């Protein structure tokens, strides 16, 4: 890690009141006058928030397009500078790490600079004369949270990192500057202990009361929920006794990945994680957070459409009852433009404001349950072998698939989240300015139809779009323009926390009933029966009776419930399943054809490659050359 000499960016432009933290650097200020009055110190507070990863930007968050959940073409990667494409295509390198948050290049932000700015703030905020101690304490708690979160983000990416709790003095000796990586246990302990101190101080507000000006700032609920996520991550197989990194030592002879753990120690990590999840859930319930449901009577719509809007609006309705942390630094616009088909409506094919480039692989479509709430290859009433056969939609399907339209049997008799999350050939797309449930817009994307691929450097490879990311009131114009209803990216929501809790309970040895209670709450909202009833009725496999079986159910439930919310990328890594899942081929429909018989043939798009080394980012070679105390991650 480099020795930093800082000229601080501290004067920032406050854009709009509803996006309090949507900020950009403006002027340059010196530390001398940054803390002379409250107004200047507040700008420095915004500086600390500025380094939050932009969770909802394609070019910044590797979890959107860097795994197996969404596929983009090389042409679009080049045009939009999506560095995560290199990660998904096994083209990461130590000479040029992509989405590099260590140094802040190729889509990443320099989080060590952000941490250092947080340290400067904490060292100087006490000097400000025109602030109350109460307000100073709140700001201190916010910045300490940000500093802990930035460390956590780096740990997920790089594993053990150098902890930077205080800045290195400008007159430090060479030995002080050339730091070592802390052990993995020390890293997680630092983040958790910091969050504990913040939570126990009660300096953060329980919830935001001044919504017009402060939405997006850190609250007690956010701190509790993030602590729960951190502990679940620390308890997961990638970080908890991972023997792939046995004997991985630095020049001091210290095993920095700390792989040697007893079964008791591993179980205790899960127990700690479960306790943290429960504390967060209890607190958030007290504050009025609950699972979201679309209950508006604005439109006369079917039960099916209302259920689909529930799952679209979980993400796209800003500050809904389920959103624990929405990142106001990351307001979603770009993602919508690439999650909606070009030519969704006939006559609007030439609109260049949307591209529809985000393609959902068939493996992700396969992940969703049947209407009976069990996997498609386990449901004894569902024709898995004939899933690519053709079928014509009837009147009974009309709120999900266009009546009379022929599509693959794969698209029939699926759970409601399938139709809410995915746009596919023949699927109903409620919205786009059309709210007549009896005469809705639907996707037509075979060759010669309005939503077919037609622009050489902008197309959808699989024929499936992540509809869930598009607000139903966003509208594509006639020849240009895309009127978007934007929203802050949901970093953490209650449904995510419920499933983290179920996972931690299961791994720590809790009872079957206790574990499945939290899974069934998620399923109930999706209109599905509980796990036991569904598996007993529609499968021959009662896998919910074992820890291993419940683990698979929870993992699939997370994949469905949190689809396209930048969770699967990190989940597959922490579960050590990326090596299995991301070595499976990416496939889609044969989108270059016009007839159903030719279009509905599974086509290989890309053979993914994922090696053990890919679980962690490489540290850039230049960093290792300048600091010989740093040791490179395995395989790089």
User: pLDDT-based confidence at 26, cuts 50/70/90?
Assistant: very low
Indicate whether 490 and 535 sit together in one domain.
Answer: yes
Q: Which of 250, 272, 288 is the last residue in one of the domains?
A: 288
Flag whether 240 is in a domain: yes
Tens digit of each residue's pLDDT (9 = 90 or more) over 201-235: 999 999 887 777 788 899 999 999 999 999 999 99
Residue 88: per-residue pLDDT: 95
Flag whether 298 is in a domain: no
Tens digit of each residue's pLDDT (9 = 90 or more) over 138-171: 999 999 999 999 999 999 999 999 999 999 988 8
161: containing domain: 9-50+110-288
Indicate whether 282 and 427 sit together in one domain.
Answer: no
For residue 336 the two structure tokens come to 């919508």
Instruction: Tell me: pLDDT of 403 over 70.
Output: yes
Give the residue-averaged pLDDT of 233-250. 96
Give the residue-averaged pLDDT of 173-198. 95
Give the residue-averaged pLDDT of 361-378. 98
Give the residue-averaged pLDDT of 572-576. 98
Instruction: Tell me: pLDDT of 22 over 60.
Output: no
Indicate whether 395 and 257 sit together in one domain.
Answer: no
Indicate whether 231 and 322 sit together in one domain.
Answer: no
Indicate whether 337 and 276 sit together in one domain.
Answer: no
Instruction: Tell me: pLDDT of 4 over 70.
Output: no
Which string of DSSP letters, residue by residue, matches 3-68? PP----EEEEEE--TTSTT-EEEEEE--HHHHTSSHHHHHHHHHHHHHTS--TT-TTT-HHHHSSS
Kindly compute the dihedral angle of the four CA atoms of residues 596, 601, 607, 612, in this order, to the nearest 10 degrees: 100
Give the residue-averaged pLDDT of 414-421. 98
State the DSSP H helix or E strand holding residue 191, giving kind and residue range, or none if neither: helix 184-201
Q: What is the Cα 375 distance to its own chain's centre?
A: 23
Residue 12: per-residue pLDDT: 31
Indicate whether 265 and 359 sit together in one domain.
Answer: no
| Percentage with pLDDT > 70 across the chain | 95
Residue 174: per-residue pLDDT: 83
User: pLDDT-based confidence at 282, cuts 50/70/90?
Assistant: very high
Instruction: Compute the Cα dihedral for 572, 576, 579, 580 and give only its sign.
Output: negative
C-alpha to C-alpha distance for 585 and 583, rounded to whole angstroms: 7
Tens digit of each residue's pLDDT (9 = 90 or more) over 499-536: 999 999 999 999 999 999 999 999 999 999 999 999 99
DSSP code, position 396 = G
Instruction: Tell me: pLDDT of 559 over 60.
Output: yes
CA atoms within 13 A on the CB side of 412: 24
Flag whether 242 is in a domain: yes
State the DSSP H helix or E strand holding residue 607, giving kind and residue range, or none if neither: strand 603-607
Flag whether 88 is in a domain: no
User: pLDDT-based confidence at 23, cuts 50/70/90?
Assistant: very low
Q: Which of 288, 305, 323 is the last residue in one of the domains?
A: 288
Indicate whether 485 and 406 sit together in one domain.
Answer: yes
Three-state secondary structure call for residue 392: strand
Indicate whether 274 and 388 sit together in one domain.
Answer: no
- Say which range, 39-48, 225-234, 475-484, 582-591, has the weakest mean pLDDT: 475-484
Indicate whether 259 and 320 sit together in one domain.
Answer: no
Instruction: Tell me: pLDDT of 6 over 60.
Output: no
Tens digit of each residue's pLDDT (9 = 90 or more) over 430-445: 999 999 999 999 999 9
CATH label of the domain that carries residue 250: 1.25.40
Give the residue-averaged pLDDT of 308-334. 94
Flag whether 89 is in a domain: no
Indicate whether 444 and 572 sit together in one domain.
Answer: yes
What is the phi-psi region of residue 373: left when phi exceeds 0, alpha when psi lies from -120 to 50, beta otherwise? left
- Say which range, 167-171, 259-263, 554-558, 595-599, has the weakest mean pLDDT: 167-171
Beta bridge partners of 488: 331
**Phi then psi dihedrals of residue 406, to 5 deg:** -100, 125
R_g of the chain, CA atoms, integer Å = 25
Residue 30: per-residue pLDDT: 56
- Count CB neighbours of 561 within 10 A: 23
Flag whether 58 is in a domain: no
Flag whether 371 is in a domain: yes
What is the phi-psi region of residue 139: left when phi exceeds 0, alpha when psi lies from -120 to 50, beta otherwise? alpha
As a whole number, the mean pLDDT across the chain is 93
Residue 479: per-residue pLDDT: 74
Flag whether 357 is in a domain: yes
Indicate whether 277 and 337 sit together in one domain.
Answer: no
Tens digit of each residue's pLDDT (9 = 90 or more) over 89-137: 999 999 999 999 999 999 999 999 999 999 999 999 999 999 999 999 9
Who has greater pLDDT, 171 or 373? 373
Indicate whether 273 and 354 sit together in one domain.
Answer: no
Who has greater pLDDT, 544 or 15? 544
Q: Which of 272, 288, 304 is the last residue in one of the domains?
A: 288
User: pLDDT-based confidence at 17, cuts 50/70/90?
Assistant: very low
CATH label of the domain that carries residue 510: 1.25.40.390
Residue 33: per-residue pLDDT: 87
The residue written with tokens 């040895």 in the block is 509
Domain tally, the chain: 2
């Amino acid at each position: 890690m480099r020795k930093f000499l800082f000229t601080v960016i501290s004067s920032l432009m406050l854009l709009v009141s509803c996006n309090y933290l949507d900020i950009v650097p403006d002027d340059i200020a010196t530390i001398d006058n940054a803390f002379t009055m409250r107004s200047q110190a507040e700008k420095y507070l915004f500086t600390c928030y500025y380094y939050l990863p932009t969770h909802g930007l394609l070019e910044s968050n590797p979890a959107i397009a860097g795994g197996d959940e969404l596929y983009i073409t090389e042409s679009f990667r080049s045009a939009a500078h999506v560095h995560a494409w290199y990660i998904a295509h096994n083209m990461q390198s130590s000479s040029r790490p992509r989405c590099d948050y260590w140094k802040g290049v190729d889509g990443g932000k320099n989080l060590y600079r952000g941490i250092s700015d947080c340290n400067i703030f904490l060292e100087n905020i006490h000097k400000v004369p025109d602030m109350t101690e109460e307000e100073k304490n709140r700001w201190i708690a916010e910045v300490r949270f940000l500093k802990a979160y930035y460390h956590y983000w780096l740990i997920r990416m790089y594993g053990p990192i150098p902890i930077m709790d205080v800045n290195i003095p400008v007159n430090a000796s060479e030995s002080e500057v050339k730091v070592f990586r802390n052990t993995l246990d020390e890293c997680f302990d630092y983040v958790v202990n910091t969050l504990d101190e913040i939570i126990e101080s009660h300096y953060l507000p329980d919830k935001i009361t001044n919504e017009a000006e402060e939405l997006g700032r850190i609250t007690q609920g956010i701190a509790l929920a993030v602590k729960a996520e951190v502990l679940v991550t620390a308890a997961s197989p990638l970080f908890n006794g991972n023997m792939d990194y046995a004997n991985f030592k630095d020049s001091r002879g210290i095993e920095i990945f700390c792989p040697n753990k007893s079964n008791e120690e591993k179980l205790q990590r899960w127990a700690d994680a479960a306790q943290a999840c429960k504390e967060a859930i209890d607190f958030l319930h007290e504050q009025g957070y609950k699972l979201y449901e679309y209950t508006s009577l604005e439109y006369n719509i079917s039960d099916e459409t209302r259920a689909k809007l529930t799952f679209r609006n979980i993400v796209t309705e800003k500050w809904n009852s389920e959103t624990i942390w929405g990142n106001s630094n990351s307001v979603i616009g770009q993602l919508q433009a690439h999650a909606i088909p070009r030519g969704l409506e006939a006559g609007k094919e030439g609109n260049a404001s949307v591209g529809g480039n985000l393609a959902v692989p068939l493996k992700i479509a396969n992940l969703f349950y049947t209407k009976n709430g069990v996997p498609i290859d386990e449901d004894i009433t569902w024709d898995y072998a004939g899933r690519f056969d053709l079928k014509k939609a009837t009147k009974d399907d009309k709120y999900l698939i266009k009546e009379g339209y022929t599509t693959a049997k794969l698209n029939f008799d699926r759970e409601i989240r399938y139709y809410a999350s995915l746009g596919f050939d023949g699927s109903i797309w409620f919205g786009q300015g059309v709210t007549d449930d009896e005469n809705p817009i639907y996707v037509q994307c075979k060759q010669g139809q309005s939503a077919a691929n037609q622009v050489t450097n902008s197309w959808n490879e699989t024929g499936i779009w992540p509809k869930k990311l598009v607000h139903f009131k966003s509208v594509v114009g006639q020849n240009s323009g895309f009127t978007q209803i934007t929203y802050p990216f949901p970093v953490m929501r209650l449904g995510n926390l419920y499933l983290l809790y179920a996972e931690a309970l299961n791994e720590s040895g809790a009872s079957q009933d206790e574990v499945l209670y939290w899974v069934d709450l998620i399923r109930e909202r999706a209109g599905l029966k509980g796990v036991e009833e569904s598996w007993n009725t529609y499968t021959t496999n009662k896998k919910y009776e074992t820890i291993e079986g419940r683990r698979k159910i929870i993992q699939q439930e997370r994949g469905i419930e949190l689809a396209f919310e930048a969770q699967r990328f990190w989940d597959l890594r922490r579960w050590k399943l990326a090596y299995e899942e991301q070595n499976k081929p990416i496939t889609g429909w044969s989108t270059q054809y016009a007839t159903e018989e030719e279009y509905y043939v599974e086509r290989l798009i890309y053979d993914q490659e994922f090696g053990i080394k890919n679980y962690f980012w490489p540290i850039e070679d230049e960093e290792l050359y300048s600091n010989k105390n740093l040791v490179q991650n395995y395989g790089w």
